[in-house]
Structure 1
Amino acid sequence: MKIVPVTELKNLERSVEQNTEKQRKAVLEILQNVKSKGDEALFEYTKTFDGVSLSSLEVTKSEIDEAISSLDPKMVEIISEAAENIREYHEKQRRQSWFFTREDGTLLGQKVTPLDSVGVYVPGGTAAYPSSVLMGVIPAVVAGVEEIVLVSPPGKDGKLPAAVLAAASIAGVKRVFKIGGAQAIGALAYGTESVPKTDKIVGPGNIFVALAKREVFGVCDIDMIAGPSEIAVLADESANARYISADLLSQAEHDPRSAAVLVTTSKVLAEAVSMEVKSQLAELPRKEIAIEAIRDHGVIYIVNSLEEGADVINQIAPEHLEIMTKDPMSLLGKIKHAGAIFLGEYSSEPVGDYFAGSNHVLPTSGTARFSSPLNVDDFTKKSSVIRYSEQALKENGEKISAFARLEGLEAHARAIDVRLEDK
């Protein structure tokens, strides 16, 4: 990894915007075909892109039961325990409706209502991501969403991975479909003969999925447009170089555009991590991907103090931040921008990915400056509640009318005036 002074600081903006117009046109064509042809388009695209001809798009209960029985019972227990941890964490996020009454009798409040339906996209095809199932589904269940639809691309055998189906069942999903790519996003946004239209789509995917989510935003809601994975570590001389290197590589293996950054006050640690990353890279199964990520987006910044290091982290606004210092809690208050913050040497990033309970769907590409991890609030909406009293209207009606006329909206003013005239 390159060791550079902090004066060479660069941000981590590597968003999905780095695409071609050709890809966007392809996505628009897919979406239009799904909108107009429904299931027919889904069957066609599944055959073209996934290389499998399906007789049915929806996963049956027997397929789910078979998947669960095929897994090692210990693995099912692990998935179940992870699900409980995630559920417990997200239960803390639930909001209640609230109301208050003023002395003049006016009642004001906010009504919190879960969304009716949500679509959860889970990447697949050549890999299985049961953790993505849990992270997308469980907050929606906690929020009270009635209909949760899960979609994921099938393998060459026309099936979804057993671990994905097991996780779906454990999380509480009732309907699962074997569709992926931009066509799956179109199905969730517009609805087809088989796939219900949903109010919101969440979950990560490739560039075609990301572009499709962007295009359907407005028809329905989406969680975010995710960029490549990223991790930053803030460390002092007390940190373990082996731990840091392993954690940096945990994100580098995701994608050639993944970023791995160390910010440290110790040049000795910086040099040790640089050497250790090189050593650990040689043994990784996905080393080709990780090598490219480290080469292009791996960097170590030397800072003069941990306070300066915290400022650097806030400029980067990383998806994942690990603080490995003698007293990590003392720095927590200085961090303003980070998707997830891991404190201490035992809080490795994969702990959050799989088991701790926090959500691993996080803001990337610097968007932690203004956005948050996927959470229960993402699956609810708020309605303002106003019951104005007669006394309040008498006292404030003329002010309201005057404000309306200031904006040139006479009908607004008269809607108040007619009530004042009656009183």
Structure 2
Amino acid sequence: MDFTNSREANKRLHDLVPGGAHTYAKGEDQYPEGMAPVISHGRGAHVWDVDGHGYIEYGSGLRSVSLGHAHPRVTEAVRAQLELGSNFVRPGVIELEAAQRFLATVPTAEMVKFAKNGSDATTAAIRLARAATGRSMVAICRDQPFFSTDDWFIATTAMAAGIPSAVAELTVTFPYGDLTALENLFALHDGRIACVVLEAATQADPPPGYLRGLRELCTRHGVVLVFDEMITGFRWSESGAQGVYGVTPDLSTFGKALGNGFAVSALAGTRELMELGGLRDSRERVFLLSTTHGAEAPGLAAAMAVMETYVEEGIAERLHALGARLAAGVRAVAATAGVAEHVVVRGRDSNLVFATLDNQGRPSQEYRTLFLRQLLSGSVLAPSFVVSSALSESDIDRTVEVVARACAVYRRALDADDPTPWMGGRAVRPVFRRFA
């Protein structure tokens, strides 16, 4: 495969854009050397790069494009709204319609406020919790990879440059699934923790009783419970993980699949908390998500079309069915090639990822590089195995065929105990690292 145009575009991107992309997870360093395609367009579950190569795509838009690119219902809704205007000096009626639609889809919430990205929504939840409790500290789940671009979270990562230590000291962490550890954290910082922030579920279902115990523990200690539903929302179910597991948080944040690639996110929660940012409450006011483009009409039109499509077409069920077919196929060909303990598919069927392990069973960026290189050579663009509903069964079957060939190469590298000859250059890198 010739990536000449993509290589040139990547060079120019680095000259003009720090990191060469507007999201670190899309960076050139996340792909094998010389094989980071720059996309020209996409339709459904397929994308094409500037060199003319077509790919079956997974993890579309970092999980945001769950219906597939240029989905007709979404694009038509946006096109119709564009004819009516995008942003006004007063709320548009679409803001009322979108709020009604969202709260009907996520009935555990009483109020909603829209924004353009997940970080803003989740940071707004932190601000509400701090104002409501009069406390400063935030407890986040340390086993989950990302919550916000804002200081309260980034201070806990390897890329904490530019964040004052005083800010970092206000965020503490706890392990997922361990109620005793969280209770001990509450005791250690007695009366200082404003909120607990976590994804209700990630690669596996929560341990029995964990979420209900978490809910009770937060209530007992006066701590606001925040569910980050950026990934689980519209993948676990239309109403997110809270709809699947039957546990209601005080606040929750949605984004990604909510807009099928259009920029829209949501902060949802109880009326008691949300009204702190309103005009009908006697308590001290919270400056809550007052943004020029927060309720941009085309984005809200996209969100309403997404919600309608999910409910009417059973999209969440389709995502699970497609993912189950893919997971079974990958596991079967990995076993046939003798690499089932090294190429490992994990996660809920609607949100699959893969691990690449070396001969000692350790996560390996070198083996990940080998695997990604083989997938790309087979016209599969897959930083994860997260499916979109636009995939066909034949797309899945074709992907499994490509994975089978990749697993054969993987076996050869394991036998040699050296993936280097199949890497094509430097290894892919972790997103969070201190130096480039």
Report the TM-score when normalising by structure 1: 0.27
